[in-house]
């Protein structure tokens, strides 16, 4: 029979980490994202303008000597990564009232972790869907851990894996629906539209245009979800 004290602790640990809480926090923690815009206005404006430019490149049509779309997407990705660390820092400041040492929040560290995360997840998804999903889940707190705990990349990855392994149910329960909502909607619209009109010769331009919009929405979702990942990590570390 479970000790009443242990039962009370379990309830306390789960308090604020339910599926409903995850969906609510997607909007409750949005001020952390607006903090990023206030702290990094030029970066945020540059990110927006780049993606507007990405959409406009489709009006120019392909050039034989250069792929404008690929260049704009690449630059947009690099700029978007610069918004991730400030989102984590803002969340920690709002939730715990403390600042973190810049040592764990450098742009280079965020860029390396983001690229490695996307690369290994993509490889896992290509081999089999399940390994990619498992790696994405287990390593999802790496950047948050690196910044919050002020540790190196390998230590942060180890902490992320340990935290997720010990709390898999709570991590899935809290993050699954927000992730599906933030990432699933733009991807579902993109895929549905693509498969619907792929046989129409006049639709190629529209498909490319929607791909650009979807790319932008996925990058926005990455920044939007970072405060949720940060709150969850901080709660599970207690």
Q: Give 16-63 pLDDT, tens digit per residue.
A: 678 889 889 989 999 999 998 888 888 888 888 887 776 666 655 555
Q: Is the pLDDT of residue 13 over 50?
A: no
H/E run at residue 36: helix 30-39
Task: Classify residue 15 by its DSSP letter.
Answer: T
**CB count, 10 Å around CB of 230?**
27
- Token reading at 48: 């927006």
CB-based contacts of 205, cutoff 8 Å, min separation 6: 58
Residues 6+ apart with CB under 8 A from 22: 173, 174, 175, 176, 177, 178, 228
Inter-residue contact 195 to 207 (CB < 8 Å): no
Q: What b/e readout covers 75-96, taking b as 16+ CB neighbours within 10 angstroms?
A: ebbebbbbbbbbbbbbbbeeee
Structure tokens at 107: 């742009």
* pLDDT tens digits along 61-118: 555 445 676 777 788 888 888 888 889 989 999 998 888 765 545 777 788 888 887 7
């Amino acid at each position: 029979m479970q000790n009443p004290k242990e039962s009370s602790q379990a309830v306390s640990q789960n308090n604020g980490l339910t599926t409903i809480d995850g969906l609510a926090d997607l909007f409750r923690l949005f001020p952390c994202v607006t903090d990023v815009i206030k702290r990094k206005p030029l970066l945020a404006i540059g990110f927006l303008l780049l993606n507007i430019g990405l959409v406009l490149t489709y009006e120019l049509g392909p050039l034989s000597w250069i792929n404008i779309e690929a260049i704009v997407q690449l630059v947009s990705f690099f700029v978007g990564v610069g918004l991730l660390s400030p989102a984590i820092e803002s969340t920690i400041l709002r939730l715990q009232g403390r600042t973190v040492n810049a040592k764990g929040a450098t742009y280079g560290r965020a860029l390396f972790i983001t690229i490695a995360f996307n690369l290994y997840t993509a490889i896992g998804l290509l081999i089999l869907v399940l390994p990619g999903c498992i790696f994405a889940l287990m390593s999802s707190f790496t950047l948050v851990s690196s910044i919050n705990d002020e540790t190196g990349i390998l230590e942060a990855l180890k902490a992320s894996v340990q935290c997720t392994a010990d709390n898999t149910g709570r991590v899935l329960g809290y993050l699954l629906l927000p992730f599906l909502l933030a990432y699933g909607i733009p991807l579902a619209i993109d895929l549905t539209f693509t498969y619907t009109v792929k046989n129409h010769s006049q639709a190629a331009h529209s498909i490319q245009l929607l791909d650009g919009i979807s790319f932008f929405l996925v990058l926005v979702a990455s920044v939007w979800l970072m405060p949720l990942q940060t709150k969850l990590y901080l709660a599970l570390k207690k």
